[in-house]
Structures are given as structure tokens and as C-alpha cells.
């Protein structure tokens, strides 16, 4: 028997576990999927926006993988800490596949980032997703927000800020977050990109959705679109990737005179404006160390897909600023790490130590290839890694490992939450929702999760 530990139960971890138990080359593979949290599914639970129910429903297929006879979920197990260093994990399993994602957010590196009211999108997402390590948000006095960045996370946080309570109430958003968003007097959100509309990273479905929110005007300035050579020159536009062409079409629709007039009528209680060719240079402080706005420098296309500064500046008012400029991997003690890419160096998924591929240690997902791609991208990524592991199976199987590492995990002082414990959390979240007159509502704190899982 080959015992494999998969560290992380997000999509890449679950797809790696699935590839391990569904293959026929090496019989008798058993997989423990370990997670620091007592709840599985990683960013599908703690990153996919609560109003994106269709993507969330992917948990159904992830669940059926974790319920496979050859797979065991062990939550509440932190790898890389004092109780379970990575070296110890390698002594307990024939092989370890690290699928730990990219947990940190990138900074802007400009003055004022420490002002109150300036946060990463990751912090905001964690809060409204009920992550037990998330801080809290107070939107009192916030009328304008600026979101820096033009990826799908920026679109998510912009949409959640602009949405009304009737649309958020049926989601599993924790009650405290729902209460804060419900009480907010926010009127306008500006989502600001440093490059042009044809270079934005968001996908068209997500962009289009911003224009369909009840009670929200989505605006774009035609003059700003016209700064993009790909927007004005049909030949250049034709050479763009399909997603960029479709994005331009949507934005063109929003910039048409009729749409502009309607958006400018002030009829809707909230507005979203998409801004382009503005790069943040300073976060402006107001009274009591709170942010009051963002200073941007106007940029211009440099003809090579990048931009240059023009020396012209524009200030946007904001009592809340979310920087949404990408995630970054975090080093795990005992594993090599490339700080420039935020990933673990690897060769086809095998961890590379001192220039050599290490048999028995593997990576998949964002910690392997960086924080890019949609959920489905993790499937082929995990398959490549598992195929490397299976090639090493002969050598791995000769290693002497305990029959069941669970005893050793408990002896180390860990209290793993097994599948029934997770099902108990799920049931408690249904009960919580019922008691609040809502559907399932997430338990957003450690004591609540531990109690629900039966850990006392």
C-alpha cells in the first residue's frame, strides 16, 4: 500500500487526491487530505463569492471525491507548524503532495498603505466568506470605495460592495458581515486599472454581471476607453484574445450615449465606475489616520502592452480602499521557496531541492504554478503532479511507513476533524441559518467551528 498525504483540501488538493485513487497503474493507494481548517474545499468555501452559487455548487463534486473509500479528510491539522513539521509528515507518509495555494496578498508599495480603511481584497473576501482567521470590517461613514486592480477578485469585491441586501440574504454569508453590508451608506465604487480595457484580467461573464445588479449603475468613461489603441483600431482589436474582444464589446455598450445618460441620471442608489490608465501613487490620509482618497497618475500605452506615466495626476475620494492586485504564495518551513514567483520550485510537480527533483515531495495548484487560472485549471495541473508521483511509486513503496499515521498525528497533540466532524459543522450551519430565518449560514469563528465539529 502507498500512503499519500495531500496537504490542502481546495480544488488542487481534491483533484490530486482524485487522480491518485482513480488511476490503475499503482493499486492500493490511500490518501489522507489534510487541512489546517476543520472545513474542506479551500477557496471554493473561503474565496468564491457567496453570490456565485453556481461555482459554489462545485462543492458537490469535490464532496463526492472526499467521500471516496480510498480518501480520508483530516481537518484541523496544520502542517509546517511546531506540532507537525514538514519533515515529520514525510516520515509518516510515503509521499506528500503540497496543495497549499497562495495565501498572502500583494502590496502596492506606495505611501499610505498602513492608513485605516486600506485593506487587501483578500482580507475583505475572507471576512465576507466567514474565514475563521478573518478580521472584521466597519463600513460606518464609508460613502465611496476604490478597488485597485482589474482581475476577477477586484470584480468580486466591487460587486459584493455594490449589491443590495435582498440579493445577499439568500447566500451563506455570515450574519455579522451581512449586517455590516446592510447598514452601509456606500454610494459609489470605482474599480481602477493601471492599464487599458483590452489588458484587463477579468473575464467577460464576471464583467457583464456588474452591469446587471439591481439598483446599480455601471459606468465607463468613453474618453478613457478611447485611450486604448485596441479599442479605436478595429484591426488591432481583431488580433486580441477572444476574452479581451468580448470585454471591449461589453464596455462599448456601457459607454454608449444612451447608457451614459441613464447612468448619469442618478436614479440608482449605487454606482460602479470602471476606470482605466490610472496607476496608484499614494493613499491620502485624512483625520485620525483614516484614508480619504487615492492619488493616481494618468498612464499612457507604451505600445508593448505596458504603460508609462504621463506626469498628470487625479485624486479619487474613498473612505475604503481595497487593493486587489493578486495573491502570493507563502513559504512553508522545510520546503524550498522562490520568493520572486511566490512558488515552490518543481519539475513536473516534483519539488526541486538544490537543483534536484526530490522523490516523495510534490506540489500542485497555485503553490506550483502561481495564482492564475480558473478552478478547472487545477485538474490538469494536479494530474501532471500525480503522474510524476506514480512514476516514483516503486521507490516510494520501499520506504518503511506506519500502517496508519492517524495515531502519530494524535500523539503529536493534533486533534484531526474527520469527515463526520465536517458533516456536523455543515448541519450546524443549516441550523444556524434556520434560526436566523435564512438558508445555510456560515459559522465564522474558531470556537463555533470547533464546537460544531465536536471538539469541545
Q: Which chain residues interact with ligand NAP by CB under 6 A?
A: 108, 148-154, 156, 193-195, 199, 201, 206, 279-280, 324-327, 371-374
Shortest CB 355 distance to ligand NAP, Å = 29
CA distance 428 to 422: 10
Shortest CB 204 distance to ligand NAP, Å = 11
Quick check: 277 and 255 in contact, CB under 8 A?
no
What pairing do the DSSP bridges indicate for beta strands 278-285 and 291-301? antiparallel
Shortest CB 200 distance to ligand NAP, Å = 6
69 to each of 32, 64, 90, 259, 295, how far by Cα in Å? 11, 10, 23, 55, 56
Grid coordinates representing 277 are: 490608465
Nearest to ligand NAP of 74, 364 (CB atom): 364
Shortest CB 173 distance to ligand NAP, Å = 16
Nearest to ligand NAP of 114, 431 (CB atom): 114
Shortest CB 372 distance to ligand NAP, Å = 5
CA distance 66 to 39: 12
Nearest residue to the partner ligand NAP, using Cβ: 151
Nearest to ligand NAP of 32, 156 (CB atom): 156
Nearest to ligand NAP of 294, 453 (CB atom): 294
CA distance 66 to 31: 10
> Whole-angstrom distance between the N-terminal and C-terminal Cα of the chain?
34
9: nearest Cα among 70, 73, 60: 73
Nearest to ligand NAP of 20, 44 (CB atom): 44
Shortest CB 363 distance to ligand NAP, Å = 17
Shortest CB 105 distance to ligand NAP, Å = 8
Nearest to ligand NAP of 118, 153 (CB atom): 153
Nearest to ligand NAP of 35, 105 (CB atom): 105
- Give the residues across from 321 on adjacent strands: 118, 146
Grid coordinates representing 104 are: 498572502
> What does the DSSP assignment read for 193-237?
-SS-GGG--S-HHHHHHHTT-TTEEEEE-HHHHTT-HHHH-HHHH
Neighbours of 196 (CB within 10 A): 24
Shortest CB 277 distance to ligand NAP, Å = 10
> What does the DSSP assignment read for 155-170?
HHHHHHHH--HHHHTT
Nearest to ligand NAP of 45, 201 (CB atom): 201
Amino acid at each position: 500500500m502507498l500512503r499519500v498525504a495531500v496537504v490542502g483540501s481546495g480544488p488542487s488538493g481534491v483533484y490530486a487526491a482524485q487522480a491518485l485513487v482513480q488511476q490503475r497503474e499503482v493499486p492500493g493507494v490511500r490518501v489522507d487530505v489534510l487541512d489546517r481548517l476543520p472545513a474542506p474545499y479551500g477557496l471554493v468555501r473561503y474565496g468564491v463569492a457567496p453570490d456565485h452559487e453556481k461555482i459554489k455548487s462545485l462543492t458537490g463534486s469535490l464532496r463526492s471525491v472526499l467521500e471516496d473509500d480510498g480518501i480520508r479528510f483530516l481537518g484541523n491539522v496544520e502542517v509546517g507548524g511546531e506540532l507537525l513539521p514538514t519533515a515529520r509528515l514525510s516520515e509518516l507518509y510515503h509521499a506528500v503532495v503540497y496543495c497549499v495555494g497562495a495565501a498572502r496578498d500583494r502590496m502596492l508599495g506606495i505611501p499610505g498603505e498602513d492608513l485605516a480603511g486600506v485593506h487587501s481584497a483578500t482580507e475583505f473576501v475572507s471576512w465576507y466568506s466567514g474565514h475563521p482567521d478573518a478580521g472584521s470590517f466597519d463600513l460606518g461613514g464609508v460613502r465611496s470605495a476604490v478597488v485597485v486592480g482589474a482581475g476577477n477578485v477586484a470584480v468580486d469585491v466591487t460587486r459584493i460592495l455594490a449589491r443590495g441586501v435582498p440579493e445577499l440574504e439568500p447566500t451563506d454569508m455570515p450574519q455579522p458581515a451581512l449586517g455590516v453590508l446592510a447598514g452601509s451608506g456606500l454610494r459609489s465604487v470605482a474599480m481602477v486599472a493601471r492599464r487599458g480595457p483590452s489588458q484587463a484580467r477579468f473575464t467577460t461573464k464576471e464583467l457583464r454581471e456588474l452591469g446587471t445588479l439591481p439598483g446599480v449603475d455601471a459606468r465607463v468613461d468613453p474618453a478613457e476607453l478611447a485611450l486604448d489603441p485596441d479599442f479605436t483600431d478595429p484591426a488591432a482589436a481583431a488580433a486580441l484574445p477572444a476574452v479581451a474582444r468580448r470585454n471591449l464589446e461589453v464596455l462599448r455598450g456601457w459607454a454608449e450615449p444612451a447608457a451614459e445618460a441613464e447612468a448619469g441620471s442618478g436614479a440608482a442608489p449605487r454606482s460602479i465606475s470602471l476606470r482605466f490608465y490610472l496607476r496608484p501613487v499614494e493613499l491620502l490620509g485624512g483625520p485620525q489616520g483614516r484614508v480619504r482618497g487615492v492619488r493616481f497618475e494618468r498612464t499612457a500605452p507604451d505600445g508593448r502592452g505596458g504603460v508609462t506615466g504621463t506626469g498628470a495626476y487625479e485624486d479619487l475620494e474613498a473612505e475604503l480602499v481595497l487593493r486587489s492586485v493578486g495573491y502570493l504564495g507563502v513559504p512553508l518551513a522545510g520546503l524550498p521557496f522562490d520568493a520572486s514567483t511566490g512558488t515552490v520550485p518543481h519539475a513536473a510537480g516534483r519539488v526541486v531541492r538544490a537543483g534536484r527533483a526530490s522523490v516523495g515531495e510534490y506540489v500542485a495548484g497555485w503553490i506550483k504554478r502561481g495564482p492564475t487560472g480558473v478552478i478547472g485549471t487545477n485538474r490538469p495541473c494536479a494530474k501532471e503532479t500525480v503522474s510524476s508521483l506514480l512514476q516514483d511509486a516503486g521507490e516510494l513503496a520501499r520506504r518503511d511507513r506506519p500502517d496508519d499515521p492517524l495515531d502519530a498525528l494524535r500523539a503529536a497533540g493534533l486533534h484531526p476533524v474527520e469527515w463526520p466532524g465536517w458533516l456536523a459543522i455543515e448541519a450546524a450551519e443549516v441550523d444556524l441559518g434556520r434560526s436566523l430565518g435564512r438558508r445555510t449560514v456560515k459559522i465564522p469563528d474558531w470556537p463555533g467551528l470547533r464546537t460544531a465539529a465536536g471538539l469541545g
